[in-house]
Amino acid sequence: MDLFQFHVWEDSWAHDPSWQDTVTEMKDRGLIGGVGISVNRWEPWNVLRTLETGLIDAVQVIYNIFDQAPEDELFPACRELDVAVIARVPFDEGTLTGTLTRDSRWPEGDWRNTYFVPENLVPSVERAERLARIVPEGMTMPELALRFILANPDVATVIPGMRKPAHVRANLATSDAEPLSEELMAALREHRWDRRPTEWSQ
Ligand SMILES: NC(=O)c1ccc[n+]([C@@H]2O[C@H](COP(=O)([O-])OP(=O)(O)OC[C@H]3O[C@@H](n4cnc5c(N)ncnc54)[C@H](OP(=O)(O)O)[C@@H]3O)[C@@H](O)[C@H]2O)c1
């Protein structure tokens, strides 16, 4: 396995020998190439002590036009410790595709029905509407969302969720696009949205 990732991490486990010994043995036996940690939603700092162990090769973190907080502490730490960054949830679970409305509902059993509760859905849609005003002509909001992330040299790769071939093609094409202008990047910085974990956000 190229990359073995831990899910739902707590930084208080940083010095627990049980995981440290296990991943060291898995690497020594050639079972895994690298070890990664997927950081909980809106807690990019909840991994910093673990990175300092030197045992971690990659961090998977929510990073997008709204969730810019990983730039504060996590990305500088990754740069210093040579840890790769995997940016996940680049469209804020769909908000940054510009397709959600205040009435959006998903098929029964789709977890987004419990995530986009009115307390989350309404401000998300309002913010997407504000963002839509600065999407340049000829560009889509999903393209802008991916190009914002790709502009950051700290990010090694982006993993958008995709179920449609058309989305795969559109998203892959953004890798070849020109960098966004400095003016546009500055305007996108204004759309940062710091949120706190709550019962519907897990
Ligand atoms: N480690 C963790 O804890 C964790 C947690 C959550 C997610 N993840 C991973 O993170 C990745 C992304 O997360 P995500 O899927 O939850 O959120 P996301 O990438 O922010 O959003 C996915 C949504 O965007 C839509 N979309 C994708 N490309 C589009 C395009 N070009 N135009 C319009 N809409 C587009 C998709 O629609 P369609 O479905 O219609 O294609 C889907 O509804 C996934 O690979 C997932 O496995 C990891």
Give the model's confidence band at 175: pLDDT under 50 very low, under 70 low, under 90 confident, else very high: confident
Q: Which residues contact 159 (CB under 8 A, 6 or more apart)?
A: 60, 86, 87, 88, 90
Give the model's confidence band at 114: pLDDT under 50 very low, under 70 low, under 90 confident, else very high: very high
State residue 202's pLDDT score: 76
Give the model's confidence band at 199: pLDDT under 50 very low, under 70 low, under 90 confident, else very high: very high
Going from the Cα of 88 to the center of ligand 1, the distance in angstroms, rounded, reads: 8
Q: What is the pairing mode between strands 3-6 and 34-38?
A: parallel
Between CA 13 and CA 17 the distance in angstroms is 9
Residue nearest to ligand 1 atom 21, measured at CA? 93
Contact at 8 Å (CB) between 100 and 72?
no
Ligand 1 pocket at CB < 6 A: 7, 38, 60, 88-94, 97, 142, 159-164, 167, 170-171
Nearest to 78 by CA among 110, 104, 39, 111: 39
The pTM (predicted TM-score) of the whole model is 0.96
10: which 2 tokens? 């707590």
Going from the Cα of 82 to the center of ligand 1, the distance in angstroms, rounded, reads: 26
To which H or E segment does residue 168 belong? helix 165-173
Give the model's confidence band at 176: pLDDT under 50 very low, under 70 low, under 90 confident, else very high: confident
Give the model's confidence band at 3: pLDDT under 50 very low, under 70 low, under 90 confident, else very high: very high
130-148 tens-digit pLDDT: 999 999 999 999 999 999 9
Going from the Cα of 28 to the center of ligand 1, the distance in angstroms, rounded, reads: 34
Which domains does the chain carry? 3-91+140-189 (3.20.20.100)
28-80 tens-digit pLDDT: 999 999 999 999 999 999 999 999 999 999 999 999 999 999 999 999 999 99
> Taking CA 71 as the corner, what is the angle to CA 111 and CA 153, rounded to the nearest 5 degrees?
100
